[in-house]
Amino acid sequence: MNKRTCIIVLHEIYGVNNHMAYYRQVFEQQQMDVYIPNLLNRAKVFSYDEEEKAYEYFMKEVGFEKAKKMVEELIDTLAKQYDFIQLVGFSVGATVAWLCSEHPAIQKVLCFYGSRIRSYTNVIPKVPVQIVFGKNEKAFSPENVRIGLSEHPLVTFEIVEGTHGFANPYDQMYREQTTKRVLQQWFDLK
Q: Where are the beta strands (DSSP E) in 48-179?
A: 84-90, 106-112, 129-134, 155-160
**What pLDDT shows up at residue 3?**
62
Which residue range forms the structural domain that includes residue 99?
Answer: 5-188
Give the domain CATH number at 39. 3.40.50.1820
Q: Band of the pLDDT at 102, cuts 50, 70, 90?
A: very high
Segment 41-67 mean pLDDT:
96
Q: Band of the pLDDT at 2, cuts 50, 70, 90?
A: very low
The C-alpha angle with vertex 176 and arms to 20 and 12, in degrees rounded to 5, equals 30
Is pLDDT above 90 for 188? no
**What pLDDT shows up at residue 139?**
83
- pLDDT mean across residues, the chain: 94
Residue 135: name the closest of 108, 150, 117, 157 by CA: 157
Report how many domains make up the chain. Answer: 1
The C-alpha angle with vertex 91 and arms to 66 and 84, in degrees rounded to 5, equals 70
pLDDT in tens, 26-49: 999 988 999 999 999 999 999 999
**What pLDDT shows up at residue 149?**
92
Is pLDDT above 90 for 118? yes
Is pLDDT above 90 for 58? yes
What type of residue sits at position 27?
Answer: F
Identify the top-confidence range among 71-75, 137-141, 143-147: 71-75
Is pLDDT above 50 for 137? yes
What type of residue sits at position 42?
Answer: R
Q: Are strands 33-35 and 129-134 parallel, antiparallel or unpaired?
A: unpaired
**What pLDDT shows up at residue 61?**
96
**What pLDDT shows up at residue 90?**
97
Q: Band of the pLDDT at 4, cuts 50, 70, 90?
A: confident
Kindly state the DSSP code that residue 36 receives in the 8-state scheme: -
